[in-house]
Every structure is written in structure tokens, then in C-alpha cells.
Chain A
Amino acid sequence: MGTRVLLVEDEANILEAISFILSRDGWEVHGHGNGATALDAVARLTPDVVVLDVMLPGRSGLDILRDLRNASETRTLPVLMLTAKGQAKDRDLALSLGANAYLTKPFSNAEMVETLRDVARGVSLNGAGLPEQGS
């Protein structure tokens, strides 16, 4: 099995698109459409990497990220944030909260896969190296 990725995204079409791309690239993709239950999904699935949308019904992606970083099991879990809010301050906020990378919608598929691969390998876009992840 490839790297396990949890995809938290409320837009069904976007979820479908990313799932299709990553599956074909060999990832084990798990989709989740609700912010409120995202943390449960993480605990249940123990993904290697998480793709997290910011604007989610029930719970904001940033809140979820904060909780992930506060919990010892998930403190170093690689996270790629997606957002449709294109402003710099949104990105800065996400990175300061501990996201490993950040992509603004819309993105190219190749760029998304590349970034996610880097994140999963522990290369952090915010410059801080992450401990080695067993893959």
C-alpha cells in the first residue's frame, strides 16, 4: 500500500478530483467531508499525511490543525492546507499554526501531488525539517 492520506474537504467535486489523482499516483486516499468529525477520522485512520481544507462546515480547518498540533500523537503529523481564500495573511496564519505546506485553490494537479509528496517526506515549506516519517 502507498502512503495513507486523509483528505478533509467539503466540496464533493474537489474531493473526487483529488482522490482520483492521488489514487492513480499510488496513494491510499481516505476522504472526509465534515470538519466536526475530522479529528475522529485522524484517530481512526492514523494517516501518514493530512490534506486539510480551511473552510469546512462544522469546524474550521485551522481549528483542526491547532488541535492536531496540541495532541502529542499528531504533533508531527504532516499537514497540507488547502484554501480558496487567496490572501497572504491566511497562508501566514496557517503556517504559523504548524501547517507543513499551503496551497491556494485552484492549483495544478501536478503541483498538488508534488507538494504533498514533499510534505509526506518531511520537507516542510515553512523551513522547519520534520522528523523522519516511516513510509
Chain B
Amino acid sequence: MLSFDGLVAVCVLYVAGLFWVAFLAEKRAAEGKARWLSSPLVYTLSLSIYTTAWTFYGAVGSAARSGLEFMTIYLGPTLVFIGWFWLLRKMVRIGRAQRITSIADMISSRYGKSGGLAAMVTILAVIGTTPYIALQLQSVTLSFSVFARPGALGAPDTESTAVWVAGGLALFTIVFGTRSLDVNERHPGLVSAIALESIVKLFALLAVGGFVVWGLADGPRDVLLRIEESPIATWTSNGARWVGLTVLSGAAILCLPRMFQVMVVENADERHLATASWAFPLYLLLMSVFVIPIAVVGLHMMPEGANPDLFMLTLPLAAGQDGLALFAFLGGFSAATSMVIIAALALSTMVSNHIIVPLWMRATKGENPMTGDMRRVALMARRLSIAGVLTLGLVYYRMSGGTEALASIGLIAFLGVAQVLPALLGGIFWRGATRAGAAAGIALGFLIWGWVLLVPNAATAGLMQGVLENGPFGLTWLRPATPLGLDGADPLLTAMVLSLGVNSFAFVLVSLFTFPSPMERLMGAQFVNVYEHSRTPLAWKGSAGTADDLLIMAQRILGAGRAARLFRDAAAAQGREARLPEPTPDFLEKLERELAGSVGAATANAMVGQITGGASVSVRDLLAVADETAQMMEYSSQLEAKSAELAQTAARLREANQKLTELSVQKDAFLSQISHELRTPMTSIRAFSEILMKSEDLDAEGRTRFSRIIHDESLRLTRLLDDLLDLAVLEDGRVTLNEGNTMLGDVLDRAVNATSALVGGTRLSILRTRADEEVPLWTDADRLAQVFINLISNAQKYCDAAQPELRIEVLRLPGRVEVEFADNGAGVAPRQQSLIFEKFARGDTAGEAPGAGLGLAISREIMGRLGGGLTYVPGQGGARFRVRLPGRALRAA
């Protein structure tokens, strides 16, 4: 008999062989040479990871215990592949069109890229798959122990066997599953290794079957006789259970993460599915054809109490066929390892994409997900996830004790992942399905499944015994074993009907009552009408034409020089003489990164994808492109707003500048005026003082006359300076008003007296109506008098009538008082009327009159300060000025 060490050595050699095959396939795929890799046969063989160690060993056990029931596990997938070919094709098409990376990705994409839903499906998948991985580890350990002779030297430590197996599988998966973050998530190396394992396990089973039928029994006729005699023939099968299990396994092949991985994600060509639709059922048929004979012969020949799960190994061993037993062992080993590898890969993709990376992004505040740094994080997350998933399986195996019947765990796991089915089918065929519906259905179904099946199976007896027997809180109808009080029914069937029923019902109901978001509607249309939205996807084939197209596109974006350099370097790196490199995935990735720097990650991805045809441009791509475009548009509109703002500022500055220029012109004119007004009297003063100084011969009369002129001109200068200062103070608003009680008549008296004193003349007769002047005021009497004096002296200066008269009229109006000064002269010429209040403005007739022309400007300023106004009233014959006193200056009499 084969030694345990020998067995281990064979295992190590076998695994090394797998590494070699995977490595070779990976290398050839990278070179684009491995045509056989993308053959439909490899695809079909990779699908057969459906048949795990559970099927390999357990089917015989199941047949020995319950007859033909094991057939349901093959029947479901067979029906799906033959009868529901259209469903598989649609899934594959969607998967390729949307570049789906996992079942969780599929569900979340359909329901508007919901991160929450993806995480939910991921968790469900991990929980549903962990027992399954434990099962594979258990089968490997069990099969090892068959070869071990108890008490012999080097007897196997079953515990450490499981650890080593798990570690080895993790390594293999990490090496070939996470070499790079491929855009379409395909792993040619892994798939070819899996295909090889599928061949090994099929031939191992056929070999054992053939040996049993023709070696142990006497051919088919004998076997049929033995079947007739065995209790298997008499067992009547439970119809409901048959239907239920068939449906369950059919659902499983659609929903199992590992099946989704090989069927959809690793699919290289949609047409392979057509081959698989007959070849895969055929494979299943071959896998099942010898199960009953082996079970019957085993039951017949092996001693009472022998584990029928291990007949595959114990029958050849008992017959002394060590080689055959070893082959059978390798078959089982293959079945276990291939399942674990793909399951770990699928789960790690989901865990890293939908749990770790989103958390990382949240933690790092969403940096660009396509940067190199992020890719490293994603790869590391995936590697850690693989190790984590396998560790979880190992822990579960250790805790569950490892002696349960294998089949029951497998079925429980099936039902767990089948909870995704309503959301999956609904998402593909029903546009009305919503995220909330999917979440509600999955959550409810998952809870029921967990409570009814997982808790009793997994819970350690002591802790939850009370709950198991009496239900939580003493609610017996919630007792896991008999939900709703359904006592005596098949727990698996009950759980299945209950969980999937509630799941579907909640899914439909909630979907009907919730409204899909725009993204959900869009993705829903993309999924349901996938055939209208996607081109027929072809297998990715690198060709010179593609490289040419890529170069043309790259030139358009990067510029001719940079693009040429990039392509030349890549060609050199590939060791090619040609100008153009082979469009390998590595090169495409590099090109995409280069392009992303210029046009954004999503656009670059879509452009490369469009040219290589590896994947059609998905809605997600387009939306991402739209996002980027929107960002650019927002940016440019910000720029636009900025430049509009600048233009406005410039306009304001121009306006201010113009105003300043005008002010400067006005200031120049004003200074020029002041200069003139100051220099004129000074000219007289200087001229006459020089004459006085140098003319000793001047007579006394002349001296006196010249001295008076000097004196008068000095007074004129002083007045001018006074006026200028007064105006400056008034215009600055620094004037302090000295307000008090006074009578209008008194102020007028003061003004009239002052003017007669100033000029000393009485030529101008002033007409007043004293009765009207009895108006009590609250105002600055000095300032008001100043205004009146100015107006009276103006009349004295400019009234050109022969008998000059000034009429002062007081009008009491509601809320104000008006005092009008009207003379009988010619008045102010119409074109002068708007100018007379300007500084230094003097009428045409002002020639002979003294004064610098500041009087009216000052008076108007004063009236403004007093809250009233000063206006010229045209069309009155003579000049007529109106002084308006505000209501606030009026004091109750």
C-alpha cells in the first residue's frame, strides 16, 4: 500500500504540475499565441468546477443513503444549460458588455451601481461559500486519512493536512489570480489549470467506475442485477424533494460565485456557451453514470458501517488497486482544489471590490481610483481577501467538527447563494425591478435561510440549545427546526420554499412600490435590452490593425512625437523589430494610463476599449465620460464666470478712470480759474506798488489813488480766499451748523443791512412784505443770512434796469417755506441758467462787477446743508432765485 509520505509527494508533484500548466498558459496568453486556451472545450471543462469533491465522493454516499436523489444535483444544471440557454447567453452578454467582475458586481450594477447591495451580496456569498470551502478541506483531509494506517509512523495529522492544503491553495490562487488587475478580470492560467483538473477528476471517476463494473462486478448485466437486489431499487423518492433539489441546483449554477466567475467573467467568447450547452450536460452525465453502480457494489462488498462517502477510495484499496485508489484520490483532490481556487478568487474579487476598496476610498477621501497607488491597494486587498476567505473556510471546518454528512452542508450553501436568484432574474428580465426591492428580497430570504438552516447547523449546541428547542423568546413558531410550526416537513425544503418565496414576494412588492433612480432605470434598460445595446462581442484578438488604430488615436491625444515614442519604446520592450508593439494587455494598460493623464481615466478606458474591441463601451463608461465632461464644463463655466467678473471689474475701472480724468480736467480748470482770480488782483497790487516805490515825482493825489487801488485789490484777494475756504469747508461737509431759534424777518433785515453797508450804495430798492416774514425758524441764522446777502448783492451787481428793484416774497407752503428774490433786470440768459451755480461762473454781463463767481456755488452748498435748496426760476422777466427752507426749519409759532 502507498505510504503516506508517497501520497504527500504525489500531491506536491500534482500541484507543481498545475503551477506549471497555469504558468505556461499565462505566458502563452500574454503572447497572444494560445489559441487552444480560448477553445470552447476549455470553457466547458472550467465549468465543471460545479462538480466538487462533494459531488465526486458525496454523490456515491448520497446514492448509498437515498438512492437516485443525487441525480437532482446534476439535473438542475443540465436543465439550465439545455433549456435555459437563452438565460445564460443573456447573462454572459451582459457580463461582457458591462464588464461585470462578479455576481455582486452584476447585481449592484443592475440596480444603479449600488454599493450597499454589492456589499450585501458579497457578505451573503462569503457566508454561503465558507461552509463549502470547509467541505472541500474536509474531503481532502478525509481522503488522506483513508490512506493512513492508524498507529503507523508518519501517520497523518488530519488537522495539519487541512492547514497545508489551505495554505497551498491560497498561494496558488494569489499567484495566478492576482497577477494584475486585468480590465476584464480574466485569468487564463487559472482556467487552464482548472480545465486540466476537470479532466483528471472525470477520468478518475470513470476509471473507478469501470473497475467496479468490470473488475469487481461481472459487467453491466451483473450490476443491474445487483441494483435490483439492493435496497436502492425499493426506495421511493419524495417527489417534492426531487423537484425542490432540482430547482435548487439549477439556481445554484446561476448564482454560485465560482460558477459566475467561470461562466460569465472568464468567458472569452460568447459562442463557447453554445458548445457548453451540450458538452457540460454530457460531462455531468459521465460524472453520474457510475455513481449508482459504485454505491451498490460498495454497499454489497464493504463491511457494515463503512462510510459510503469514501467508497471511491476504499473500494480500489480493498481490492488492492493502490494505483487506481491514488488516481481516485487525485480526482477528488482536483475536484476540491479547483473549487476552492475559483471560489477564493471570486470571493476575493467581491470582497476587495465591494468592501475593502470602498472603505479605503472613504478613508482616503476618494482619490483617483485609477492611479497606480490605488491599483496596488486593490491588488493587495485581493490577496488579503484570498487568504482571508481560505482562513475562514479553515476555521469553519475546525469548528464544525468535520464528521457531518457532506451533502447536507453543500445543499445548505446552495440555498444561501440562491437568495440572489430573484434579484438576478428580475434584474435581467424586468425593468421595473428596483434597488429597494432587490435589497429587501435578498435581506429577508437571507435572514430566513440563516435562521432555519445555518443556525442549527453551525451553532454550537450548548450555547443556543434553548433557542433551538423553544424558539427565541419562547416563541415556538420561530423555532429554527420548525418555522411557522411546520413540524415534520423536510427542513431544507421548508427553508427553500419559505426563504425564496418571501424573497421573491418582497422583491416584487417593494419593486412595485418604489421608484427607480435614473441610474437604475438606465442600467435596467441596458440589462433587459442588452442585445439591442451591445455589439456582438468578439474574442479579443490583437492585430497590427489594432495597433495602427491605437497609434492614430494616441497621436490625436498625446501628440505625434510622444505617441510615436511611447509605441516605439513598447515595441522595443517587447523585443520586436517593428515600429508597432503587439497590443498586449500590459501595453494597453500602459497606453490607457498615458491617455488618462490627458483625457481622464474613464474616457481613456472607453477609447482603448472601443479600438481593441475587448469590451464594448458600457453605460458606466459613458456615464463616467459624461461625469468628466461635466466636470470640465463646470470648470470652464467657472473660468467663464471669472472672466466675466474680470471684464466687469475692468469696466468699472475704466469708468472710475474716466471719472478721475473728468475730475482731473475739472480740477485743472478749477486751478486755472483760481490762479486767474488770484493773479489778477495781485498784478494790480504789484504794478502799483512798484510804481509807488520808483516814482518819487508822483503827486499826492496819484499816490492816494494808487494806494487805494492796492487796498481794494487786497480786500478782493481776501474775499476770494475767504470764499474758497468757505466753499472747501462746505463741500467737505466739515461745516458745523449753529442752529437756533430765529425769525425769517430778522434774518432778512440782517442781510439787507449788510449789503447796503458793503456796497454803500442805495441804488437798488428792496421791496418786502413784512407781514409774510413772520415765520419762526429753527436754523443757522448766520448761514442763511450769508445766502440772502449773496442774492441781494448779486441783484445789486447784475440788475441792469434803469430803476433796479428787488422784490423779496415769502411763500408759506405745506411743509416748507419759499423765499424768492426777483429783480426787474434782464434776468439770466437761458444758456447761462444751468451754469450760474458752478464755481467761477459769471454771467456775460459780469464783466465790470467784482467777485470771483463763487457766491451762488457757496449759497447752494449752504442751502443743501440746511436741508433746503436754491434754484433759479426761469421765465419771470428778471432774475428770480428761490430759496427753499425745509419743513424741519419751521418752528411752531
Interface residues of A (CB under 8 A from B): 10-11, 13-14, 16-18, 20-21, 24, 33-34, 55, 57-58, 84-87, 90, 104-110
**Known pairs A13-B713, A20-B691, A21-B691; A106 contacts B683 (CB<8 A):** yes
B577 within 8 Å of A (CB atoms)? no
Q: Is the CB of B680 within 8 A of A105?
A: yes
B399 within 8 Å of A (CB atoms)? no
Q: How large is the interface on B (under 10, 10 to 19, 20 to 34, 35 or more residues)?
A: 20 to 34
Q: Is the CB of A85 within 8 A of B687?
A: no
Q: In whole angstroms, what is the CA distance A71 to B513 when docked?
A: 103
B304: chain A residues at CB < 8 Å are none
**Known pairs A57-B847, A86-B675; A11 contacts B680 (CB<8 A):** yes
Q: In whole angstroms, what is the CA distance A18 to B681 when docked?
A: 14
14 A–B pairs (Cβ distance < 8 Å), ordered by A: A13-B713, A14-B680, A14-B684, A17-B691, A57-B844, A84-B675, A84-B680, A85-B676, A87-B672, A87-B675, A104-B679, A105-B680, A107-B683, A109-B687
CB distance from B762 to the nearest CB of A (A): 23
Q: In whole angstroms, what is the CA distance A106 to B687 when docked?
A: 8
B684: chain A residues at CB < 8 Å are 11, 13-14, 17
Taking CB as reference atom, which chain B residue is nearest A11? B680
A86: chain B residues at CB < 8 Å are 675, 679
Q: Is the CB of A105 within 8 A of B709?
A: no
Q: In whole angstroms, what is the CA distance A25 to B688 when docked?
A: 15
Q: In whole angstroms, what is the CA distance A106 to B679 when docked?
A: 6
Q: In whole angstroms, what is the CA distance A58 to B675 when docked?
A: 20
A106: chain B residues at CB < 8 Å are 679, 682-683, 685-687
CB distance from A117 to the nearest CB of B (A): 17
Q: Is the CB of A109 within 8 A of B683?
A: no
Q: Is the CB of B683 within 8 A of A16?
A: no
A110: chain B residues at CB < 8 Å are 690
Taking CB as reference atom, which chain A residue is nearest B716? A13
Q: In whole angstroms, what is the CA distance A107 to B454 when docked?
A: 120
Taking CB as reference atom, which chain B residue is nearest A103? B683
1/0 per position for B694-725, CB-CB distance to A under 8 A?
11000000000000010011000000000000
Taking CB as reference atom, which chain A residue is nearest B712? A13
**Known pairs A85-B676, A86-B675; A21 contacts B847 (CB<8 A):** no
B678: chain A residues at CB < 8 Å are 84
B688: chain A residues at CB < 8 Å are 13, 17
Of A16, A34, A85, the residue contacting B672 (CB under 8 A) is A85
Q: Is the CB of B687 within 8 A of A18?
A: yes
Q: In whole angstroms, what is the CA distance A10 to B844 when docked?
A: 13
CB distance from B641 to the nearest CB of A (A): 45
B690: chain A residues at CB < 8 Å are 108-110
Of B683, B686, B695, B847, the residue contacting A84 (CB under 8 A) is B683
7 nearest CB pairs, A to B: A17-B687, A84-B679, A57-B847, A13-B684, A105-B683, A84-B676, A106-B683
A104: chain B residues at CB < 8 Å are 679
A21: chain B residues at CB < 8 Å are 687, 691
A13: chain B residues at CB < 8 Å are 681, 684, 688, 709, 712-713
B691: chain A residues at CB < 8 Å are 17, 20-21, 109
B677: chain A residues at CB < 8 Å are 84
Interface residues of B in 652-695 (CB under 8 A from A): 668, 672, 675-688, 690-691, 694-695
Interface-centre pick from A13, A55, A57, A107 (highest chain B CB count, 10 A):
A13
Interface-centre pick from A10, A21, A84 (highest chain B CB count, 10 A):
A84
Q: In whole angstroms, what is the CA distance A11 to B713 when docked?
A: 11
A24: chain B residues at CB < 8 Å are 695
Taking CB as reference atom, which chain B residue is nearest A86? B675
CB distance from A55 to the nearest CB of B (A): 6
B686: chain A residues at CB < 8 Å are 106-108
Q: Is the CB of B675 within 8 A of A14?
A: no
CB distance from B686 to the nearest CB of A (A): 4
CB distance from B193 to the nearest CB of A (A): 99
A10: chain B residues at CB < 8 Å are 847
Q: In whole angstroms, what is the CA distance A18 to B684 when docked?
A: 9
Q: In whole angstroms, what is the CA distance A84 to B844 when docked?
A: 19
Q: In whole angstroms, what is the CA distance A84 to B717 when docked?
A: 14
Taking CB as reference atom, which chain A residue is nearest B688? A17
Q: Is the CB of B676 within 8 A of A55?
A: yes
